[in-house]
Structure 1
Amino acid sequence: MKKLFPLLLLFLCLSLQNHAQENASSVSQGRFVGKTIPLKDFASLEERQYRINEIKIIPNNIRANEKLDLTGLPLDGNDPMRQAKKGKDTPSYMLEQNFDGISINESGGATPPDPSGAVGPNHYINAVNSVLKIFDKSGNLLVGPTALGSFLGNGTNGGDPIIMYDHLADRFFVSQFGSANNSLVLGVSETSDPTGAYFVYEFVFDNFPDYPHYSVWHDGYYLTANKSGEVVYVLERDVILNGGEDPQIVGFSPPGLVFNPGTVKSLATSNMLGSDYPENSPGYITYLQDDGWDESVTFDHLKIWEVNIDWVSATNSTISDPIEVPLNAFDSVFAPFGSGDLVQPETGQKIDMIGGIISYAANYRMFENHNSWVITFNVDVDGNDTAGIRWVELRNNTTDAWTVYQEGTYAPDDGNSRFMGSSAIDIQGNIGLGFNIGSPTLPVGISYTGRYESDPLGEMTQTEMVIVDGVGVQTYSNRFGDYSHLTMDPDGFTFWHTAEYFKLTNEWQSRIGSFRLSAGFENDLSVADIINLENDIFTNSEPIEVKIRNLGTENQSDFPIELYLDGDLVATETFSETINVGEVAEYRFDQTLDLSTQGQTYNIRVKVILDTDQYSINDEKNQEVRHLFNNDIGIVSFDSPESGFGLSDEEVSVTIKNYGADTQSFFEIQYAIDGGVPVLETVSDIVNPNETLVYNFSQTADLSSLVVYSIEASVNLGGDQFNSNNTVTTEVENKICAPTMNCSLGDGIQLFSIADINNVSGCEGYGDFTNLTANLIPGNTYPLTITTGYGNQNVTVWIDFNNDNDFTADEKIVNNFVIAPGETGGSYTETIDVTIPASSNLGSFTMRAKTNWDDPVPEDACVPSNYGETEDYTVNTETILNTSDFSPLNNSKLTILDKGDKQYEAVLTTAYDGPAYIAIYNLKGQQLKFKKIVKSSVDSYVVRLDMSQVSTGMYIIRIGGKIGGSYFTEKFIVK
């Protein structure tokens, strides 16, 4: 807002009945494509992995959201409605179903997935860009993955799928882009069985209907799209449900609408939950208006329009002028769309969080004395692209227009963004909210929270719960979402949510989770909270207060409530008042508790006793509380340094906590490395009771050696009454970097053979083979043989000749040699001549081989690439052949025996009894093998030679010692 509006402005929203009406701007017909065969009879797609260059990145359409009016509120960037703390109420009903839906490898390799889903009495349908699956409600796969283009008969997989369950008709609805230019195709199940046949229709528009979002209403299927001109449509639902010809579609251009020139032009329509609705109720359309978009938007608000449909004479259908519902100031703008908003861990690639649009879907439900409409959208809560979810519950009734009943911004201050939200309201008025969560340190996952109808307004009171943790990140595109989808079970109580997360790096996966806030039992009491009981200084007569919630559908009164201390029942009292359905009551026990022992932790348990209770799991609440010492400072965690690569002078950081009841400051803190002289400093900051402080030592730690360090940190508070938490120890290893890459498609190294090393390996991503040593003589040339399972593979090999753990350009012995240029999958082997520089240092060194598909191997040997592998070996350059400390060679003899299958045996008969060295050369003088040998018997050295990896031809074998100038040489032929 440009100005702060008084609350009186809320009452200036006039009833829509008094607003002007505009007629529909167009009426046309859809085309009946036909009836499909049963969906279960379509072929399932085969899963395959997609390379980054094969992934189809679906283009966006006019989505460069940016702030145009810099005077828009909030001026300081801080969201005034921010809920900075998570709800602390443990959900009475935990996550029920939780399973993976569709992966990128099943979808045809498109991103973003645009996940959508809907639940019926017995099934859940999940769709992403180009495919769908049908599950039973236990997560068992029944159908799919099935290509949407095949199923809907349009032969294309254009994207932007939407799934709905039309509970008013007990049918399922599936839609995506059509095959005709500027079209949408949709199918509605012929019966309540979603695995059966569908009626399919195609609708053509005046321009491309991007980002289509639908809703179920009693008089039509409502549709909005991101396009110019008409952006609101209503489809003739009754004709579609009956498989009729030429269903009408009525288009509207909402008057008074303001768009950010680059914002997604897709409004939201009211989606009906439940079977009750006001007679002759119009359809409702809404869109947010941000004063940061345009000077003509003078305050942050929602615009709402009414649509009245007349299917007898569709041209008489009307849309109203909008009413404006003021909201508290918000900032709906992140970075310009396409550049990405959310920083991900360990990659420079950001992903979109999508601001400036109402999230799908905007769910509506009728109650006894009001109607509720729940709306969510993503907002920037701090001016630094930290995302939260602004949620709004609007209410109206038969006489009053829509006004804000409550609003809040769910954005706990923990460094994580919450975005891509979706919400719904159950039959008791409880609100569930699903969303993605991520940050520069947290891979994107999926979580949910919620609130009860009787909870404090504007607050999500339920503890945030994880549906699935993210594992990977996305490195090739900013595209994410573009939406998630939370829907209601026909039971009226169960929320079903689907969204995207990264199961592996660059591999998205849809996930489905279901949860309830209430189960609809007649009799269900729960202990919601033990009030205001925190760690403190206690007495021997502490009062105990609790909150009791009635989750059932019947009022409750006159029931027992029990109080326990450390497992012992200390009181049974009677709650004699009445708790109405959905309400919360507070109760204070007459019995007090003795919590007077300093330093002791007590367990307090409260339980309600209701003989007819139908869900006993939530009947009790446990809480531990500690009687604090006055003076107790401890260290919670060692925050840095952490084990890593290339460590040097590292910052030492710990988190301190004041466990005591008194405020503390100016106390000593220290750290020591491997028991050495401690670094002693003073903490001058004030640390209040139960607060934490991150302390960064001014003196860094020298961790430059490649060893494991033991670091101990301690706080030294004079008069500390509890010393067990004063010290923490961590181990930090300075490691040589080990970049892990994706070799699952055959990229990487399947054979690495040089001199003494002949290593056949699988897909490790990173393979530590430093136990294998190649003896290589400076100045000599050796054949290096590499096999890979995918063509167009670049290979670089370094030897770290100065042992500084930094593989530099002058240490390359192979520089981006390409194996099988232009080829794809298969087995490809190349032999590369490798020369060891004559000036090389003598000693033992690490040899690193890296591959990279379709691009040069990065100059930095520590940087991972998308496809390839890293393998480390050991090279020894100290031993030189061609010298000997053999005794005089009289009466000595070298014999080569052919054992078949390219297996040979070299036998040196001699009186010499010391160490010897053997080498094998080809006729080009390239050394193929080199190793030390010991005497096998009193008079001979015997060496088995495996020549299976070389081609047929003549080879030379030499055997000699370390000092002197003589050696044995013999030629032999490999057949």
Structure 2
Amino acid sequence: MKKSLLLFLFVALVSNVFAQKDKPTFLANGKYLGESKPLRDLPKTVAKHNNDPKNFKFGHNRMRFPRKMNENALPLHGETNAQRNFASSTPYPLEEDFEGTNIGETAGYLPPDPTGAVGPNHFINAVNSSFKIFDKSGNVLAGPSDLGTLWPGNFNNGDPIVLYDQLADRWFISQFKTSTNGLLIAVSTTPDPTGTYYTWEYPLDSFPDYPHYTIWHDAYYLTANKNANNTYALDRQAMINGDANPAIVGFSLPGITVNTNTVFSPEPANLLGTSYDANTPGYIVYLQDDGWSGAIAQDHLKIWEIDMDWVTPFNSTVSAIPLQLNTVPFESTFAPFGTGDVGQPGTTRKIDMIGGVVSYMVNYRKFAGHNSMIVTFNVDVDGNDLSGIRWFELRNDSTNPWSIYQEGTYAPNDGHSRFMGSAAIDDQGNIGMGFNIASTTLPVGIRFTGRYSDDPLGVMTVEETVIVDGVGVQTGSNRFGDYSHLTMDPNNQTFWHTTQYFSANNFWSTRVSSFKLYGNYDNDLGVVDIITPTDGILSAAESVQVRVRNFGNLDQSNFDIELRLDDNLVATETYPGTLSAGTSAVFTFSQTLNMSTQGQTYSVKAKTSLAGDEFVDNDESEKNVLHLYNNDVGVVDIASPTTGEGLGNETVSIVIRNYGANAQSNFDVSYTLDAGTPVVETYPGTINGGEQATYNFTQTGDFSALGSHDVDATTSLATDQDNTNDTYSEQIIHQSCNPTADCSFGDGFVQFTMVDINNPSGCSPNGYGDFTAQSTNLMLNTPISVSFQSGYDDQTVSIFIDFNDNFVFEPSELVVTDYSAPLSGTLYTTSFTIPNDNNLSGTHLMRARSSWTDSDPSSADACIDFTYGETEDYTVVVEPNLSIEDDEFNKAKLLVYPTTDSKYEVKLNSSYNFGDLKVEIYNTLGQVVLKDDMTKNSSSYSTELNFKNQASGVYMAKVFNGTFSTVKRVVVK
């Protein structure tokens, strides 16, 4: 009775949440532009692009700067929900696999924004500025043609989406129009995608970046990356009919938290199949990451319902309070935009893989007893930008609200990032997912995986399968994606997928592929999983349980299953009864296995033996099972520090794994840095068998020297039975904050002028120029004019001043942000004002950065490399509101110079008595490594500092008292 009452109260509460509704915030109508020419008759494009990165063109979008705003957000040390093992169930071969479009057909657009849709007989593949239409065998029936030729004016602005409306047997194609903040949409007049299309323009109140559309029974829904009115419904039936002014209704999503440092991209649900309840509302899904804001208490998904009234559109509603589904903690933020997230072989150029967005698209399917939605997005699985794909199956039914039926993170432990995922669900409830894969050892390629409806929850069980391997890398830009697209064939069995890869250096192509997880053959059985035994303390009589699947279209009875141990056949037993088509069952062998040798890894294989089996590749499953030692611990990772700039005295964090069966506690752990004296401490906690834990050493390590540092971390358990896994080694590189860039085309500065600085420098070596010997005085609360000239078009210029003298350029220290200098050979002038705050006075480092507009924003992290551009450092003296004493200190000259091999004289030349002065030496992390009091004599203050125990590199000397400070860069060799 109590349980029934609680269930009633929960359902009533959720019903009450969805019962609270908000009205639309935007109403308008589309403008009919006419009927297009048949797409098969549009002019075909010719190759317009070679592999020169300078010929790249970048699609319009609102820039993204994914950043973690709440540093205490979970997970703290990487993904806790990751599937780190590879799936083993052998899939069918690809049904279709052919090249789509490529950069040569688009005049060099980046990113391509690949999209595609499949109908009964065709596939349309579109990218920024171009499209092709294929039959299902990959033969080109129309195109390649400019996407803009569908609409009058031939606007080719980007972010295309292609859909097949299976409810009406019509095709849908879209892109945006930047000049009017508009959406351009076309719907085919017949089922023939190569024929004519009705066309419309929908002007909006602000630019609709990143528009993602879906098919629903009562509307075409879309979301856009904009501040308000970010979710829309289009009058689907009016568009199918070719009406002149079909309505568009816009909503803002109540109760949402937005990370203003990343793209805003909730996703509408997309209907798969033709079955639906007429009163089913539209659904909008969005992730909420506690790393975005302290206002988000826990990572979760939000779901809104939209009910449309096309008779009286203003009566349409959206949930005032969205449904919240709490998830396993995830980290959706990656590196700042412009720096890239995923490494590539043979280049320092990384590519973006888009964090903080729900991946396109959220696919919905109605089943007999429930409804399912599939949601995916990229997550950081190790805290260091290694990407995996978090995926969900959500379920509801006629009486129960949406809940998380299963969730997992697909991230096999091989060092490769998996990203840009897109997933769907077939009519048996099997899930297929396509994605990109890449790392510093693997060029960007395309693969797929999946799972069957009755597999263990939360894991992908279908063997990861290569669709196409990458051949080249992209060195000219970080931009990649920005999305991929997987959808279902109208047959409800076949998954169709398209995304990009690099078929040559700086040359992207799209790939179109299709695959099925069942139904290819009448007679097809296989063992898909060996459930037991598992790693542990094993015996001489281990029971073996396996899961057997009937992949075929016919039921199967009384078939044999073979069992092997270390490739020796030990049993052939008969499955008793009937296994229905499309189902699986657990079978337990009566034969047991002798696995009693401790420390040994056993190979267990099980295989179906069906006479007339039409696909034998999926008959067998294999599993390696380890008889664990009782006592066995080891280091599996050095979590911190990591390679980067500004390293100094750092906390060393290691990840320890208990490989054994027994819980372990109070054992020694140690690390050595650059073959020095080991630092030995005791792990104080308890780690259970099979678990991992992070340990932070109390004694820090000195990583301040630029270059590589070798770290070896070791466990020392007195009773350890396997010492081969005790030690883990890693090389950590302290990188200098002297960013590089290619300025050989003339990018960057050929002239930089600010007050007394006048520098006609031209291209600096590797795009970085140290001009700190050039200095000028700047006044508080006074406009300061700065002029610059570049030798290449389309530059943006930003200037930082390190006011707090911590050798770190922070966003708050930007004084000029992304100033546009569009023409080469033109002297541009702008100005800035330093606030009237004496705390900002003193001698500071100033950094001027110029980058090619189509490559990187110049205001991005001041230490990142640019593709094209230049960085120049200068010294500025910000003068305070001067008293006599201020004036004397401002005129004093600071000198730092070597006197012996390791000693340096620090001298402030001035006869004025400033009272007590001190000197501090900072490393590049902003840490004080040396300090002393200055001694006053008749003409100066001075002291001598010993750098004997300091690494070679760049330091900052700061001379100060409670009122004044001045700094100077010191290079210790």
Q: TM-score, normalised by structure 2?
A: 0.60
Deviations 1:159-207 (A, max 9, x none): 011112233344433222248723333344555554x323140223233
CA contact (8 A) 1:341 1:352 kept: no
Deviations 1:435-490 (A, max 9, x none): 44567887655444333222344444445555556676656655443222111122
Q: Does residue 257 in structure 1 map to residue 247 in structure 2? A: no
Letter in 2 for 1:306: D
In structure 2, distance between residues paired with 1:237 and 1:725: 64
Matching residue of 1:286:
284
Residue among 231, 243, 248 paired with 1:246: 243
In structure 2, distance between residues paired with 1:295 and 1:669: 39
CA contact (8 A) 1:171 1:190 kept: yes
Give secondary structure in 2 for the equivalent of 1:150.
helix
Range that drifts further, 294-303 or 457-466: 294-303
Deviations 1:594-630 (A, max 9, x none): 4456777654332234446554332222334466788
Gaps of 5+ in 1: 1-5, 640-652, 705-711, 731-739, 748-792, 798-807, 810-820, 824-852, 856-862, 869-975
In structure 2, distance between residues paired with 1:193 and 1:439: 41
Which runs of structure 2 are paired with 1:345-744 in the superposition (5 Å)? 345=343, 347=348, 351=352, 353-355=354-356, 357-378=357-378, 389-397=389-397, 399-400=398-399, 402-410=401-409, 412=411, 414=413, 418-437=418-437, 445-462=445-462, 464-465=464-465, 467=467, 479-502=479-502, 506-519=506-519, 521=521, 523-534=523-534, 538-552=538-552, 557-577=557-577, 579=579, 582-596=582-596, 602-611=602-611, 613-625=613-625
In structure 1, distance between residues paired with 2:83 and 2:37: 52
In structure 2, distance between residues paired with 1:382 and 1:429: 31
- Compared CA separation, residues 246 and 611, structure 1 to 2 (3 A): same
Q: Does residue 118 in structure 1 map to residue 120 in structure 2? A: no
Which runs of structure 2 are paired with 1:778-927 in the superposition (5 Å)? none
- Compared CA separation, residues 536 and 358, structure 1 to 2 (3 A): closer
In structure 1, distance between residues paired with 2:182 and 2:245: 15
Letter in 1 for 2:33: R
Gaps of 5+ in 2: 1-5, 640-652, 706-711, 731-739, 747-761, 772-790, 794-850, 854-863, 870-973
Matching residue of 2:840:
none
Give secondary structure in 2 for the equivalent of 1:14.
helix
In structure 2, distance between residues paired with 1:407 and 1:692: 24
Matching residue of 2:103:
104
CA contact (8 A) 1:449 1:465 kept: yes
Q: Structure 1 residue 428: deviation in Å? A: 0.6
- Compared CA separation, residues 305 and 383, structure 1 to 2 (3 A): farther
Letter in 1 for 2:108: G
Letter in 2 for 1:351: D
Q: Does residue 32 in structure 1 map to residue 37 in structure 2? A: no
Give secondary structure in 1 for the equivalent of 2:211.
strand
- Compared CA separation, residues 219 and 728, structure 1 to 2 (3 A): closer
Matching residue of 1:709:
none
Give secondary structure in 2 for the equivalent of 1:496.
strand
- Compared CA separation, residues 470 and 116, structure 1 to 2 (3 A): same
CA contact (8 A) 1:268 1:287 kept: yes
Residue among 195, 198, 202 paired with 1:197: 195
In structure 1, distance between residues paired with 2:379 and 2:446: 18
Give secondary structure in 2 for the equivalent of 1:13.
helix
CA contact (8 A) 2:633 2:660 kept: yes
Letter in 1 for 2:246: I
Residue among 81, 86, 97 paired with 1:83: 81
Residue among 57, 60, 74 paired with 1:55: 57
CA contact (8 A) 1:282 1:308 kept: no
In structure 2, distance between residues paired with 1:206 and 1:78: 41
CA contact (8 A) 2:88 2:621 kept: no
Deviations 1:224-273 (A, max 9, x none): 43444473132444654xxx653442222336624556655655333221
In structure 2, distance between residues paired with 1:247 and 1:144: 28
In structure 2, distance between residues paired with 1:300 and 1:394: 10
CA contact (8 A) 1:330 1:379 kept: no
Matching residue of 1:805:
none
Taking only the aligned residue pairs, the percentage that are identical comes to 39
Matching residue of 1:12:
13
Letter in 2 for 1:254: F
- Compared CA separation, residues 657 and 121, structure 1 to 2 (3 A): same
In structure 2, distance between residues paired with 1:687 and 1:177: 55
Deviations 1:763-805 (A, max 9, x none): xxxxxxxxxxxxxxxxxxxxxxxxxxxxxx98989xxxxxxxx
Q: Structure 1 residue 116: deviation in Å? A: 0.8
In structure 2, distance between residues paired with 1:455 and 1:327: 23
Across the two proteins, how many residue pairs are aligned to each other? 757
Give secondary structure in 1 for the equivalent of 2:36.
strand
Q: Does residue 326 in structure 1 map to residue 333 in structure 2? A: no
Matching residue of 2:894:
none
Matching residue of 1:306:
307
Q: TM-score, normalised by structure 1?
A: 0.60
Matching residue of 2:271:
272
In structure 2, distance between residues paired with 1:597 and 1:79: 35
Q: Structure 1 residue 426: deviation in Å? A: 0.7
- Compared CA separation, residues 324 and 220, structure 1 to 2 (3 A): closer
Matching residue of 1:162:
161
CA contact (8 A) 1:136 1:142 kept: yes
- Compared CA separation, residues 597 and 295, structure 1 to 2 (3 A): closer
- Compared CA separation, residues 340 and 557, structure 1 to 2 (3 A): farther
Q: Structure 1 residue 109: deviation in Å? A: 1.8
In structure 2, distance between residues paired with 1:37 and 1:45: 19
In structure 1, distance between residues paired with 2:18 and 2:304: 15
Letter in 1 for 2:283: I
Give secondary structure in 1 for the equivalent of 2:271.
strand
Q: Structure 1 residue 680: deviation in Å? A: 11
Matching residue of 1:42:
44
- Compared CA separation, residues 502 and 687, structure 1 to 2 (3 A): farther
- Compared CA separation, residues 231 and 695, structure 1 to 2 (3 A): closer
Give secondary structure in 2 for the equivalent of 1:564.
strand
Q: Structure 1 residue 209: deviation in Å? A: 5.3
CA contact (8 A) 1:77 1:382 kept: no
Which runs of structure 2 are paired with 1:62-77 in the superposition (5 Å)? 75-77=73-75
- Compared CA separation, residues 142 and 656, structure 1 to 2 (3 A): farther
In structure 2, distance between residues paired with 1:462 and 1:635: 31
* Greater Cα radius of gyration, structure 1 or 2: 1
Taking only aligned residues, the RMSD between alpha carbons, in angstroms, comes to 6.5
Letter in 2 for 1:31: L
In structure 1, distance between residues paired with 2:315 and 2:579: 46
Give secondary structure in 2 for the equivalent of 1:25.
strand
Letter in 1 for 2:89: P
Range that drifts further, 105-114 or 345-354: 345-354
Matching residue of 1:216:
215
Give secondary structure in 2 for the equivalent of 1:108.
coil
CA contact (8 A) 2:102 2:507 kept: yes
Q: Structure 1 residue 32: deviation in Å? A: 1.8
In structure 1, distance between residues paired with 2:218 and 2:281: 8
In structure 2, distance between residues paired with 1:156 and 1:638: 52
- Compared CA separation, residues 545 and 118, structure 1 to 2 (3 A): same
Q: Does residue 343 in structure 1 map to residue 341 in structure 2? A: yes
Range that drifts further, 413-422 or 120-129: 413-422
Q: Structure 1 residue 569: deviation in Å? A: 3.9
In structure 2, distance between residues paired with 1:400 and 1:41: 54
CA contact (8 A) 1:608 1:620 kept: yes
